[in-house]
Structure 1
């Protein structure tokens, strides 16, 4: 199944993306807003699934903050780049068919992961993320709002899977949500089972 990312990007594009991230880091650009937010949402030493981990930038920063991070990406060039971070457990896999045989305290799909899915498969990916979360586990996702996959579609898919939306922000640094925001950062939770 070809995702939007695969349809719109070649291996050379992925290599250029890695180089762009490296240049931003060399210039001292803050690349860790997502990690700060996720770190604030979870307990110390949490297990975190980085769904669509790309270069491993987010996962490596979460690991530096003491979390155990498993990354998954479907782009072989990006997955290989993520493997350069020895503190990460990186898998080359499709989110719609993900089966790692374990659960995590949290999952994050940052950087437009859901809007680059094959149209109509976003809910399948959310179902697989749900299956990899412990009861009460948190899911955080962020994407640009100028794409075909909308915030309303995300909310419908999250509800259909069973997630409860807890928060929405316009940025990773927690600026208040507004309908005309360029970015949507959503925090949802898999409800804990009652004893």
Structure 2
């Protein structure tokens, strides 16, 4: 994705805003290419007209710096998954718990709204998400205590309450090494 952004800029098109930073995530939504930077900035590239626009949103979702947010486009809507610290309801130790949250950007008013919380603790720094029709799928894979664990989850964004469900969980593989968890692919097929 970063190489695609570099190709777009090298073709003579207007470049990203100077202070944008390094692109960490990108997705096409309604014919517009959106990118998010490691410095918490959002920009869009109008594919038909060939120019970049920096987007000021209010507010940017809070996040744990070590986890880069992931943009996802689903049903003509723009979502972001980010990791932040849990806000407690008087729960002891809640400030020490990180959670992955799903945010939606109102494309007209440019405001982020929290719409769901992922059920698993964010153990995978390189989690992959992909959307299909009304569903966002996520695959997490990480090595802990000498075992590689993986989880596959789904969220139906057409429902009023966007809850995540486990499709599979806790598959353990002993023959994989930690580098196998760094990159992963996910594809949705309609059979």
Confirm or deny a common fold (TM above 0.5): no
Q: Which has the higher strand share?
A: 2
TM-score, reference length from structure 1: 0.30
Larger Rg: 2
Q: Which has the higher helix share?
A: 1
